[in-house]
């Protein structure tokens, strides 16, 4: 979706992960097309007469919100088909995405600079200084497959709100939601050249897009391996935000309200087949109740329906690729062979679906303990001393959201202070998020702060004016 007469260099087949059915095809583009898209975007940014005023951006986003409401049912079905997230969960994602656009409008309305104190000494006398904000430049957004509606809103919405031209590369597995959403941006009044979607024909072409000197801001949601590699190749001066995964830890004390906690833990680990960067994965439970917790989570998982994501009865959909289903199975079998106890889970249900699985006390050096599994697998570990559990929770080189379940305020505060995390949920699961809160991976889990207002701020520069006058 590049403006101008651009020829496709190939076709990308988009198939349903559940049954492999061909849904649609989209055009692939080469380096010449990428260069054309960057020229369009950089020319827009460099010609300030073409910048979109704040009132125009509000008008566009307001219309977009209404269009998303009108097209919600269609977008939900497309997203569930191509991404595999069950229909009911995709409905929630759609509602969040619409709310996210309204949040972008609020960001524009509340955007302002500040006065810088002057007249405080001889050097600053007779001066007035204040700041305002301007767009940072061309935004290139590379997105992930697992929330194909909401992630695009989180990247494109703030870019449009901040006044930046944006080029989006959606995940090859789930590009349709992005193409449809950007069409709605255009239908809402955003000139086509302000938001362009590209599906590069190769990794080299995608890298050429990201690392070009015309890029002002790079937004990446995806694997740590790819994100950190691309960051190392950015042009001088380009800023970036990286959002990768974690291996989310949970501490469950013996005094926790299990009636409340257990459904949340099961949902947090099995939601979207565990394909969420802050899914519940490692649950450290006080020994007196550890087996009970593992068995109850397993029981809840066993009641969940695994299957067609477009069915309203489905709780857990497919894994995005067959190779990933095989990898998950290999990691689980590795853990069991190393001594983990399988509390529940029958392994692969099909090439695309994996049964919700609970493992008890996997060894510390197994993949399910050390790496992000990105599958419907919850590991329960027993502990006797909470500080030892926190030490184990903190032992990895990733750090994102964590959680603690307890009825004791001191226990909660101790865990909050000691856990390596950007956010600690008390009596809530690690996957909790609202879209205006800061959302940040630390260490190898990411760089910068997500959340719509924070991304909006990142995509702007603060510009100061200093006025000197003898009348001041």
Whether residue 140 contacts residue 240, with contact meaning beta carbons closer than 8 Å, is answered with no
| Residue with token string 């692969």 | 348
Largest CA distance in the chain: 81
Nearest to 44 by CA among 213, 164, 167, 208: 164
Catalytic annotation present for 115 = no
Per the DSSP assignment, residues forming a β-bridge with 243 are 221, 446
Query: How many Cβ atoms are within 10 Å of 381's Cβ, its own excluded?
Result: 23
Whether residue 411 contacts residue 404, with contact meaning beta carbons closer than 8 Å, is answered with yes
The order of strands in the sheet holding 215-221 is 195-197, 166-169, 138-142, 215-221, 239-243, 446-447
- Burial of 193 per CB tally in 10 Å (0-12, 13-18, 19+): middle
Phi and psi based region of residue 373 (left: phi greater than 0; alpha: psi -120 to 50; beta: remaining): alpha
Catalytic annotation present for 379 = no
Given 93, 243, 324, 372, which residue is catalytic?
A: 243
- Burial of 200 per CB tally in 10 Å (0-12, 13-18, 19+): buried
Given 277, 353, 370, 379, which residue is catalytic?
A: 277
Q: Which residues have C-beta within 8 Å of that of residue 136, sequence separation ≥ 6?
A: 162, 164, 216, 217, 239, 458, 459, 460, 461
Phi and psi based region of residue 274 (left: phi greater than 0; alpha: psi -120 to 50; beta: remaining): left
Give the catalytic positions in this structure.
Answer: 243, 277
């Amino acid at each position: 979706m590049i403006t101008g007469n651009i020829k496709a260099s190939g076709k990308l087949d988009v198939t349903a992960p559940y049954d492999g059915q061909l849904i649609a095809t989209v055009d692939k583009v080469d380096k010449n097309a990428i260069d054309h898209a960057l020229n369009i975007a950089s020319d827009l940014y460099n010609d300030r007469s073409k910048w979109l005023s704040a009132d125009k951006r509000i008008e566009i986003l307001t219309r977009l919100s209404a269009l998303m409401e009108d097209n919600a049912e269609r977008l939900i079905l497309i997203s569930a088909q191509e991404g595999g997230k069950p229909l009911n969960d995709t409905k929630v994602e759609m509602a969040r995405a619409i709310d996210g656009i309204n949040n972008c409008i609020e960001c524009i309305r509340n955007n302002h600079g500040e006065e810088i104190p002057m007249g405080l000494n001889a050097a600053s006398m007779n001066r007035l200084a204040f700041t305002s904000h301007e767009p940072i430049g061309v935004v290139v957004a590379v997105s992930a497959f697992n929330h194909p509606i909401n992630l695009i809103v989180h990247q494109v919405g703030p870019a449009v709100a901040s006044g930046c031209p944006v080029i989006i590369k959606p995940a090859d597995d789930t590009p349709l939601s992005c193409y449809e959403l950007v069409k709605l941006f255009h239908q809402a009044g955003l000139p086509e050249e302000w938001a362009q979607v590209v599906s590069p024909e190769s990794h080299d072409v995608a890298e050429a897009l990201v690392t070009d000197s015309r890029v002002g801001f790079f937004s990446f949601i995806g694997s740590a391996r790819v994100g950190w590699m691309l960051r190392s190749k950015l042009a001088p001066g380009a800023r970036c935000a990286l959002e990768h995964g974690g291996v989310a830890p949970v501490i469950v004390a013996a005094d926790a309200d299990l009636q409340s906690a257990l459904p949340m833990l099961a949902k947090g680990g099995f939601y979207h087949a565990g394909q969420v960067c802050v899914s519940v994965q490692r649950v450290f439970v006080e020994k007196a109740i550890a087996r009970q917790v593992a068995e109850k989570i397993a029981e809840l998982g066993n009641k969940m329906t695994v299957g067609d994501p477009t069915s309203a009865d489905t709780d857990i959909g497919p894994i995005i690729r067959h190779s990933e289903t095989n990898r998950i199975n290999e990691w689980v079998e590795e853990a069991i062979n190393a001594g983990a106890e399988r509390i529940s889970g029958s392994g692969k249900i099909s090439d695309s679906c994996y049964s919700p699985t609970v493992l008890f006390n996997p060894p510390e050096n197994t993949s399910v303990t050390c790496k992000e599994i990105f599958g419907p697998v919850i590991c329960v570990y027993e502990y006797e001393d909470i500080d030892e559990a926190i030490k184990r929770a903190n032992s990895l080189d990733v750090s994102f959201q964590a959680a603690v379940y307890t009825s004791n305020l001191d226990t909660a505060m101790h865990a909050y202070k000691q856990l390596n995390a950007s956010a600690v949920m008390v009596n809530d699961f690690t996957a909790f998020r609202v879209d205006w809160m800061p959302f940040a991976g630390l260490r190898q889990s990411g760089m910068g702060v997500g959340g719509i207002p924070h991304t909006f701020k990142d995509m702007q520069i603060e510009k100061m004016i200093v006025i000197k006058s003898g009348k001041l």
